[in-house]
Amino acid sequence: MYTNSLAFAQQCDREDALAHFRNKFLHPSDQHGKQLIYLCGNSLGLQPSATASYIEKELKDWAKYGVEGHTDASHPWLPYHEFLAKNMAEIVGAKQSEVVIMNTLTTNLHLMMVSFYQPTKTKYKIVIESDAFPSDKYAMESQLKFHGVDPKEGLILWKPREGEDLCRYEDLEKIMEDHGNKIALLMIGSTNYYSGQHFPLKKITDLGHSYDCTVGFDLAHGAGNIAPDLHNTGADFAVWCTYKYLNSGPGSLGGCFVHERHENNEKLNRFAGWWGHNKDTRFNMRQDFDPLPGAEGWQLSNPPILSMAAIRASLDTFAEAGFKNLRAKSEKLTGFLEYLLDELNNNQIHIITPRNKKERGAQLSIQVKSADKNLHKKLTEAGVISDWREPDVIRVAPAPLYNNYEDVYEFVQRLKALL
């Protein structure tokens, strides 16, 4: 399928129907103006070329209309989040009513747990993967403490077996078999930030629900990368950021999914704010809280339009490319990276990410035995932007919207030279 040559990589790029999207992004360059190889979209996506014009339009409307921009701007600010719902829903596999762009990831996670983590004296434990992103672990621990539960008692870690890098589903089954009557919530990262392992979301959801547990997912490394199919998965909720694979800019807003079966559930607790209130009476100011149906009802405040404009620029690009097309390219591009790393035939290199393309996204986590951060520093000096995670892992993520086969080939050549 693959050939280890620059000519092959360039041929793949010529035949790639999505190749022209690379030119819709701004690529970093070194001090001499030479374009760097950017393989760090799993940390921060590149800026779409259109982003500046999208933001500039809102600035002009602000200057032209002032407060009347809420209704008179080209994209009125009052319903601005609605302009993002369709494209965002298609990427995460949800209905429009089930998604909303708001707040930031960990804020949304806490808001979701107010509603979906309802511990009792006997059913109060939370399950997460052992190497979850630290923010998730901190959030879980703080929620347990808030409810008077010692995190050492209330948090169950789904761990890889000794000597292994990846979590096994059958071990999660054993956890549920042993502790299911005490577990209130499964809160799993859909795609693990460190290993790149993509978990079977539907199986996890069904497993959790069979023990009467709530199930939520953190899609920080999943949204825009894998196809989570959230509605059909049946998860109760999910949260994500938009600045990684979704290219919305550093610190930009996050996203939230609430399954439609909860859209009118008045028994759910929630922390409320006026932007989640009935739109028809929102500005009456003297009405009791009347939550909007669907994910919109969890909104708190009117959103930052400039951040949403940047998100709209990226989501429009995704819609133009088609997420199924991007996912198909991603599998081929990451497969090429895997092939080239194997071709190095270097026993210092160990890919800890699953070999099965259905169990991973764009990221490969490359463990380099006996290496330290100096190797990553040398890669950076060689013109490659990647990501280092202690103690010895380089995370590389060829994003299908703006990376190509030549990027992947050149990265491996430079890594080979350093090794």
Reduce the secondary structure of 141-184 to three states and give it as a string: HHHHHHCCCCHHHHEEEECCCCCCCCCCHHHHHHHHHHHHHHEE
CATH assignment of the domain containing 129: 3.40.640.10
Mean pLDDT of the chain: 97
Q: Would the pLDDT of 355 be above 90?
A: yes
Looking at residue 166, what is its pLDDT? 97
Looking at residue 333, what is its pLDDT? 98
Asked whether residue 68 is assigned to any structural domain, the reply reads no
| 207 in the same domain as 117 | yes
Which of 276, 296, 319 represents a domain boundary (last residue)? 319
Q: What is the pLDDT of residues 32-84, one digit of tens each?
A: 999 999 999 999 999 999 999 999 999 999 999 999 999 999 999 999 999 99
Asked whether residue 61 is assigned to any structural domain, the reply reads no
Count: domains in the chain: 2
- Residue 407, domain extent: 6-49+323-418
Asked whether residue 236 is assigned to any structural domain, the reply reads yes
Which amino acid is present at 404?
N
| 150 in the same domain as 45 | no
Q: What is the pLDDT of residues 136-177, one digit of tens each?
A: 999 999 999 999 999 999 999 999 999 999 999 999 999 999
CA–CA distance, 172 with 225 (Å, rounded to integer) = 24
Count of C-beta atoms within a 10 Å radius of residue 163: 5
| 132 in the same domain as 203 | yes
CATH assignment of the domain containing 335: 3.90.1150.10
Asked whether residue 70 is assigned to any structural domain, the reply reads no
| 230 in the same domain as 172 | yes
| 329 in the same domain as 314 | no
| 407 in the same domain as 297 | no
CA–CA distance, 178 with 324 (Å, rounded to integer) = 39
CA–CA distance, 125 with 119 (Å, rounded to integer) = 8
Q: What is the pLDDT of residues 367-418, one digit of tens each?
A: 998 888 999 999 999 999 999 998 899 999 999 999 999 999 999 999 999 9
Q: Would the pLDDT of 275 be above 90?
A: yes
| 143 in the same domain as 112 | yes
Asked whether residue 135 is assigned to any structural domain, the reply reads yes
Asked whether residue 83 is assigned to any structural domain, the reply reads yes
| 20 in the same domain as 122 | no
Which of 299, 319, 339 represents a domain boundary (last residue)? 319
Omega of the bond prior to 391 within 30 degrees of 0, cis?
yes
Q: Which residues of 248-259 are buried (b: 16+ CB within 10 A; e: fewer)?
A: bbeebbbbbbbb
CA–CA distance, 91 with 85 (Å, rounded to integer) = 10
Non-local CB neighbours of 118 within 8 Å, separated by 6+ positions? 184, 214, 269
Asked whether residue 406 is assigned to any structural domain, the reply reads yes
Pairing verdict, β 254-258 and 99-102: antiparallel
Question: CB of 273 within 8 A of CB of 69?
Answer: no
Residue 196 pLDDT grade (very low, low, confident, very high; cuts 50, 70, 90) = very high
Q: What is the DSSP string of 247-284?
A: ---TT--EEEEE-GGGTT-TTS-----GGGB-TTTGGG
| 367 in the same domain as 391 | yes
| 36 in the same domain as 21 | yes
pTM for this model (two decimals): 0.96
Looking at residue 388, what is its pLDDT? 93
CA–CA distance, 239 with 237 (Å, rounded to integer) = 7
CA–CA distance, 234 with 33 (Å, rounded to integer) = 48
- In DSSP terms, 217 is beta-bridged to 188, 238
Asked whether residue 34 is assigned to any structural domain, the reply reads yes
Q: Would the pLDDT of 286 be above 90?
A: no
Which of 296, 319, 342 represents a domain boundary (last residue)? 319
What integer is the mean pLDDT of 94-115? 98
| 112 in the same domain as 34 | no
| 308 in the same domain as 159 | yes
Q: What is the pLDDT of residues 326-339, one digit of tens each?
A: 999 999 999 999 99
Q: Would the pLDDT of 319 be above 90?
A: yes
